[in-house]
């Protein structure tokens, strides 16, 4: 097993955790502040201090790679890369939607929900009625790849015989649109956290599945579009 630092900054949540031999030994996180650049470095320092480890004892750095917020992803990934360069430790890239699906799967298992016919559908808010989404089976194998989708009443009609569990900060805004579909289950209170980044990273570490620090980039999915300046006359 290994000592792995996990970083999650893909949304308004800023989360840092440290896993050692399968156990989360320290975690720091804030929700909704969107102060990732100010909080992240301090959180990293704090989790190492609380757990009693030094940076040199770390075996790898794992980070949520997207899709998600352009700014949040850039901050998290650049911080993870900096740590890898400074400590000469491997870099582990974690799919943000798979991380969210892992959390939902743990909740379903805790509730003893039958999983044989279930598809997991994480949703992250991509503004208006659009969400970043994907589809996974009960083994977290990809059924549908990551995409940006507009959710309407026709969504998920291609899976009439499967129970689809949808969750995440993009799912709540879709509830009214999807209401009445008997094969859909809404799972509340599933929020991104570095805990799931760490747990998925352990499997990647065992497989020695490391990303190239120099060339690995966040998965923004959609191009970044800068807003117009708010100062009159500046266009």
Count CA atoms within 13 Å of residue 185 on its CB side: 15
Token duo for residue 227? 């807003």
Domains 3-95+192-206 and 96-186 share a fold: yes
Of the candidate CATH numbers 3.20.20.70, 3.40.50.720, 3.10.20.30, 3.30.420.200, the domain formed by 96-186 belongs to 3.30.420.200
Helices 194-206/96-110 angle, 10° precision? 100
Name the helix (H) or strand (E) containing 204: helix 194-206
pLDDT at 98 (0 to 100) = 98
Q: How far is CA 102 from CA 140, 158, 168, 182, 199, in A?
A: 7, 23, 12, 24, 9
pLDDT at 228 (0 to 100) = 45
The answer to whether 159 touches 179, Cβ cutoff 8 Å, is: no
pLDDT at 56 (0 to 100) = 95
At CA 132, angle to CA 225 and CA 116, rounded to 5?
170
The full set of domain ranges for the chain reads 3-95+192-206, 96-186
Token duo for residue 199? 């747990």
What CATH class is the domain 3-95+192-206?
Answer: alpha beta
Euclidean distance between CA atoms 185 and 182, whole angstroms:
8
E-assigned strands of the chain?
3-8, 13-20, 23-31, 60-64, 91-94, 118-125, 130-136, 142-150, 163-167, 184-186
pLDDT at 231 (0 to 100) = 44
The answer to whether 33 touches 88, Cβ cutoff 8 Å, is: no
Helices (H), 32-135: 36-51, 70-87, 96-110
One digit per residue, the tens of pLDDT, for the chain of length 235 reads 799 999 999 999 999 999 999 999 999 999 877 789 889 999 999 999 999 999 999 999 999 999 999 999 999 999 999 999 999 999 999 999 999 999 999 999 999 999 999 999 999 998 877 899 999 999 999 999 999 998 888 888 888 899 999 999 999 888 888 877 888 999 999 999 999 999 999 999 999 999 999 999 999 876 544 444 444 443 3
Token duo for residue 13? 């949540």
The answer to whether 94 touches 40, Cβ cutoff 8 Å, is: no
Which of 54, 61, 59, 57 is CA-nearest to residue 81? 61
Which of 139, 170, 143, 146 is CA-nearest to residue 159? 143
**Which residues fall within 8 angstroms of residue 190, CB to CB, at 6 or more apart?**
100, 103, 104, 107, 122, 167, 168
């Amino acid at each position: 097993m290994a000592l792995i630092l996990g970083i999650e900054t893909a949304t308004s949540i800023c989360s840092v955790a440290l896993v050692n031999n399968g156990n989360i030994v320290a975690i720091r996180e804030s929700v909704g502040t969107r102060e990732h650049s100010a909080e992240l470095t301090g959180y990293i320092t704090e989790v190492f201090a609380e757990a009693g480890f030094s940076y040199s004892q770390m075996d790898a750095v794992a980070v949520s790679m997207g899709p998600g917020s352009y700014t949040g992803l850039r901050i998290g990934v650049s911080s993870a890369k900096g740590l890898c360069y400074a400590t000469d430790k491997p870099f582990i890239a974690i799919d943000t939607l798979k991380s969210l699906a892992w959390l939902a799967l743990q909740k379903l298992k805790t509730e003893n929900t039958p999983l044989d016919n279930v598809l997991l559908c994480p949703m992250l808010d991509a503004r208006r009625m659009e969400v970043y989404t994907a589809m996974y089976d009960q083994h977290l194998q990809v059924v549908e790849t990551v995409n940006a989708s507009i959710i309407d009443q026709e969504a998920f009609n291609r899976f009439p015989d499967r129970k689809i569990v949808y969750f995440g900060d993009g799912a709540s805004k879709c509830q009214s649109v999807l209401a009445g579909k008997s094969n859909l289950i809404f799972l509340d209170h599933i929020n991104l956290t570095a805990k799931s980044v760490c747990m998925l990273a352990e499997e990647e570490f065992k497989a020695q599945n490391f990303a190239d620090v120099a060339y690995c980039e966040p998965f923004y999915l959609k191009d970044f579009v800068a807003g117009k300046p708010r100062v009159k006359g500046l266009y």
